[in-house]
Structure 1
Amino acid sequence: MREELELDQAAAGSEANDADMIEALKRPASRMEFAPIDGVDELRRVIEEGDLGAWRVFLHPVQRTWVDKRTNGSFRLAGGAGTGKTVVVVHRARRLARTDPGCRIVLTTFTRNLADELKESLTRLDPGIQLAPGLGGDGVYVNGIDALASAVVRGAGARIATAVEKVLGAARTDVGGRLPRDLWRQVVQETSGLREQLGAAAKPQFLETEYELVVLPNRITTEAEYLRVRRPGRGVRLSRSARQAVWKAVERYREEEALQGCADFAEKAAIAAEYLNEVADHEGRPADHVLVDEGQDLKPTHWMLVRALVGEHADDIFIAEDGHQRIYGQKLVLSHYGIATRGRSRKLTLNYRTTAENLRWATAILAGVEYDDLEGDEDGTDGYRSARHGMDPVVRRCSGFIEELDATAETLMRWIKEASGTGRAEAFAVLVRDRNQRDRIVSGLNERGVPAKAVDRGPATGKEPVVMTMHRAKGTEFTRVILFDADLTGADSSASRSYDFSDQDKADARKRERSLLYVAASRARDELVVNAISGESSTEGRS
C-alpha cells in the first residue's frame, strides 16, 4: 500500500523554498493529510455536511491520477467495489468540462437510477457545471445508455428507416412503441419445431441471449447469414436444423415487433449506432468525450453505440468497470466493438469506503469462481484491501420470515437510537431479493414501529431506513446495511434454473447471483448484518 500511495517519497524539509514546498504538497504522502478542493463552498460541503453525498464526490489521492490522465485513445479503469471508480468518472467529467467549456461530454451507465445518481453527484461536486439539455449539446449530457439510444432514434425521425433495415431487415420508422411483455416466451410457444430441435435450450433466456450476443452484433438479417456466423462462447452447439429453428423464432419475434411498432432496448442501441455511423461523414459525431460507469453491465449493442457516439482520438472513451459486479451484462471483449483499451488500462485496489472486515466478507463470496474483465483477461481480487477497520459482519440464522423481520426491526431501532445520540448523518438500508419481498418487509417494519420506506426510483436517501432490491442498490452506499434472506449456500436459485440449457450458461447465472450478493454486501460502509437463509450463525464474517 505504501508503494501505491508513494508514501516513501520524502517531503520537503523545513528550509525548502516556496517552489519546493508546493511541489512537496503535491505528493501523495502529503495529500493523505489534505485534499485540494476548488473553492471555499466546496470545502465547506465536504467538511461540515459530513453526509454520504459529500463522501461520494470526495477525491482521494490514488484516484486523482486518473482524473487528470491524458490518453491517446480509449482508457479502462478497473477496480473493486468502494475503490472510487465512480468518483473518478464524475471528477473526470467535470475536469473535461472545465478544460474546454465548449466540448460535448456524454456520461452514461446501464440503468436510469445509476444515471440519476451520477447527475446528482456531478451537480453536488460542481453546482455551476454546464449540463447539456440533450445529446450533442455543449456541456455534460447524463443519461442511461438505453435512454440515450432512444434519444438518438427519436432525433433521427424518418431518417432512421435505413438503419432499421440494416439491423432488423425491414425499413420502418415505428420502433418507439411499447414492447409486449414476455415476447420471447410467446415466441417459444408459437414457433413449431423449436423444442424438438433445441431440447433444453428451447427457452426464452437462450433465445434472448443468442439474439443479443450473436444476431444483433453481427447485423444478421437473413437465415443464410445466421447459418454461417460463428458463435464462440455460447455453450450450446447448434446443428444446421437447430439454427434454422432459431431463425424461425427470430423472424417471429421481429414480425410481432413490426405489428406492434416497437423494438427492444438492445435493438434500439444497434439501430442508434448504425444511424450515427451513417450520418457521421456529413454531420459528425454527437460527442467529444464519452465516460461510461459500471461498464461491465453494458451489452454488445451498447458498446456499438458508445463507439458510434465519438470519433477515435485522444481521451475519446473512458470506462470504469468491475467484472465482479456484473449483474446484468454478459462476458464480452471491448476490442470486438472497436474500443481498444489494451495497454491503456489500470486497476484500483485500495477501498476507501468499506471496512477491511466487510470487504473480506464480501470478497469471500467470489472465491472459487473466475471473473473476466472487459479485455477478456481474468479479473482477480488479489491485492484488494481497505484503508479502514471496523466491526466484524454479523451473520445470523433465522427460522422463518417473521423471526427475520423481528430481528431486522430490532436492529434498525437500535441503530436509529444510536445515531440520534451522536448527531451524525447516518444512512441505513435493508437489501432484499425482489420488489414483492421489499413491499412485505416495509409493511412489516412499519407495523413494528420502524419508519422504513421502499425505494425504487429517486434518491436512496433520507432520515428513515430504506428498503430496496439488491439490483436497485447498485451504485449506492450506506453506513449500515442488513441483507435480508441472503442465500449463502450456493444452491441453485430460480435464476440459475432458468439457464439450465447448458452448463456454461447455468454457471454464468450462478456467477451473477454471487456478484449480486457481493454488490449488496459491499454497500455497507461501517456495519453489515446478514440474515442467512441457511448456515450456522456467526459473528466472524463467515457464512
Structure 2
Amino acid sequence: MIFGEVTRHFSARAEKPFSHTIVDEAQDLGVPELRMLSAITPPGPDTLFFAGDLGQRIFQEPFSWKALGVDIRGRSKTLKVNYRTSHQIRQAADRLLPKMVQDVDGVDQDRRGTVSVFNGPEPEIRTFPNADAEVQGIADWIKMLIADGVAAAEIGLFVRSNGELARARSSVKAAGHTQLELSERLEEPQGRIAIGTMHLAKGLEYKAIAVMACDDDLLPLQERVEAVADESELDEVYETERHLFYVACTRARDRLMVSGVDPASEFFADLSKGHRRDQVRVPKIG
C-alpha cells in the first residue's frame, strides 16, 4: 500500500520532506496514514498539528495514537465556537452524543459550553405513517424553502444507505426539481438539489438539510446490529451510527428537517424531548 511504502522510505532518513505538518479531519485518520505522517515529519514537540472532532468519527475504528509514537495527552484543546451551524441545530444535534468523549489513550473532549454565533429556526422532527407520506412531506418542505428564497443548490437530502436513495429522488421529483446525486466525483450543482448517503455528507454544508428515511430498522442499520458478536461490538455499532446521524444533521446551517416512517429511529428521542407525529390517515384498501 502507498502509505506503507512512503513510511518505510522516510522512516530511515534523517532528512524529512516537511518541517511541519497540519492535518484536518484528524478523527478519520487510520493507522497507515498516521504512521506515514509521523515518518515524513521530523521529531519534535510542535511539528505535527491535528484538528478534528471525535464526534464526527465515522470512517475509522478507534486506536491508540500513543502506541504509534504520536502522544497528544495534555497537549490538546477543545474549541468552543461554532461558526457554521445555528445554535438551535447544534444544540439538538449535541444531544446525540455524550457531553464528554474520550479516545483510546484517555484524551477527553469536553463538548459542554460550545456556542454558535447565530440563531435560526428550531429543527423539525417528523414521523409519517408510510414512505409515500414522507416523500410528499419532504417535497412540501422543499417547496416551502424555495418560496422562502432558499436556492435549490442550497438544499441537501441525506439517507442512511443507498437503498433509501429512491425516497430522496421521489421527494425532489415531487417538488418539481432535479437532483444531484453526490459521489466521490466533484460536480457543479447547477441549480440541483443534492441527495446522497450520510457518509457522503462529511465535509459538506447546505443552508437547509433533510435527513430522511430514518426508520426504526434503518437507523441504526438493522443488518449491522444483527451481525454483532458481543456486547462491546454492539456498543460500537450504536456509537458509530449516532456519530453518522450527528454528522448528517450538522451539515445544515440554517434549517434542519429529520424524518422517518413510524416507528422512526430510536435516536429521535435523544434529538428532541418531544417531537410531533403527523396525524395522517392511511386509507384502507378493500
TM-score bracket, normalised by the shorter chain, equals 0.7 to 0.9
Of 291, 294, 300, 2:25 maps to 294
Task: Give the match's secondary structure for 1:467.
Answer: strand
Indicate the percent of aligned positions where both proteins have the same amino acid: 24
Partner residue, 2:222: 493
- Residue 133 of structure 2 corresponds to which residue in structure 1? 403
Q: What one-letter code is carried by the residue in structure 2 that aligns with 1:521?
A: C
What is the aligned partner in structure 1 of residue 280 from structure 2?
A: none
Does 1:522 find its partner at 2:256?
no
Q: Tell me: CA distance 1:451–1:531, structure 2 relative to 1, closer, same or farther (3 Å).
A: same
State the SS of the aligned residue for 2:149: helix
**Does residue 357 of structure 1 match 2:88?**
yes
Asked if structure 2 preserves the Cα contact closer than 8 Å seen for 1:428 and 1:478, the reply is yes
Give the secondary-structure state (helix, strand or coil) at the position aligned to 2:62. coil
- Are 2:164 and 1:437 aligned? yes
Taking the aligned partners of 2:257 and 2:143, their CA distance within structure 1 comes to 14
Relative distance call for 1:525 and 1:488 in structure 2 (3 A) is farther
State the number of aligned residues: 268
Structure 1 residues 487-518: Cα deviation after superposition (integer angstroms, max 9, x where no partner): 579766322333x1221122111100000000
The runs of 5 or more residues in structure 2 that have no matched partner are: 276-286
Deviates more, 1:434-443 or 1:338-347: 434-443
Matched, 1:481 2:212: no
Q: Relative contact order (C-alpha < 8 Å, sep 6+): which is higher?
A: 2
1:272 aligns with 2:35: no
Name the structure 2 match of 1:337. Answer: 68
C-alpha separation between the residues in 1 aligned to 2:173 and 2:244? 27
CA distance in 1, matches of 2:87, 2:59: 27
**2:106: which partner in 1?**
376
Cα offset, 1:524, TM superposition: 0.7
1:485 match: secondary structure: coil
From 471, 475, 478, the equivalent of 2:199 is: 471
Q: Does 1:531 align with 2:265?
A: no
Match of 1:393 among 123, 148, 155: 123
Q: Secondary structure at the match of 2:135?
A: helix
Distance 1:459 1:342, change over 3 A: farther
8 Å CA contact retained: 2:206, 2:252: yes
**Aligned in 2, Cα 1:443/1:486: closer, same or farther, shift over 3 Å?**
closer
User: Contact 1:409 / 1:450 at 8 angstroms: preserved in 2?
Assistant: no
Give the C-alpha shift of residue 344 in structure 1.
2.5
Cα offsets for 1:150-184 (capped at 9, x unmatched): 3xxxxxxxxxxxxxxxxxxxxxxxxxxxxxxxxxx
More strand by share: 2
Q: CA RMSD in A?
A: 2.9
The 1-side partners of 2:19 and 2:152 are apart by: 39
Deviation at 1:270, TM superposition (A): 3.4
Maintained 8 Å contact 2:136/2:174: no
Gaps spanning 5+ residues in structure 1: where? 1-148, 151-268
Higher alpha-carbon Rg: 1
Which deviates more, 424-433 or 521-530? 424-433
In the alignment, is residue 509 of structure 1 matched against residue 237 of structure 2? yes
Amino acid at match of 1:307: S
Matches of 1:447 and 1:388 in 2, distance apart?
32
- Report the CA distance between 1:371 and its aligned residue: 3.0
Task: Pick the aligned partner of 1:328 from 59, 78, 101.
Answer: 59
CA distance in 2, matches of 1:459, 1:338: 39
Paired letter, 2:180: K
The alignment's TM-score, normalised by the length of structure 1, stands at 0.45
Would you say the 8 A contact 1:484–1:530 is kept in 2? Answer: yes
TM-fit CA distance, 1:437: 2.4
Deviations 1:335-379 (A, max 9, x none): 2111132332211011122111111110111148x6324743233
**What is the DSSP-based 3-state SS (H/G/I as helix, E as strand, rest coil) of the residue aligned with 2:255?**
strand
CA contact (8 A) 1:432 1:438 kept: yes
Deviation of 1:462 (Å): 4.3
Q: Deviations over 1:198-231 (max 9, x none)?
A: xxxxxxxxxxxxxxxxxxxxxxxxxxxxxxxxxx
Q: Which of the numbers 412, 426, 430 marks the counterpart of 2:142?
A: 412
The structure richer in helix per residue is 1
- Residue 212 of structure 2 aligns to a residue whose secondary structure is strand
CA distance in 1, matches of 2:41, 2:95: 39
Taking a change above 3 Å as real, the CA distance of residues 331 and 504 of structure 1, as seen in their structure-2 partners, is same
Asked if the contact 1:358–1:522 (Cα under 8 Å) also holds between the matched residues in 2, the reply is yes
Deviation at 1:436, TM superposition (A): 3.7
Distance 1:378 1:459, change over 3 A: farther
Distance 1:491 1:300, change over 3 A: closer
Paired AA for residue 75 in structure 2: R
Instruction: Give the distance between the partners of 1:325 and 1:487, measured in 2 at CA.
Output: 22
Matching residue's letter, 2:63? L
Measured in 1, the distance between the counterparts of 2:260 and 2:142 equals: 17
Partner SS state of residue 207, structure 2: strand
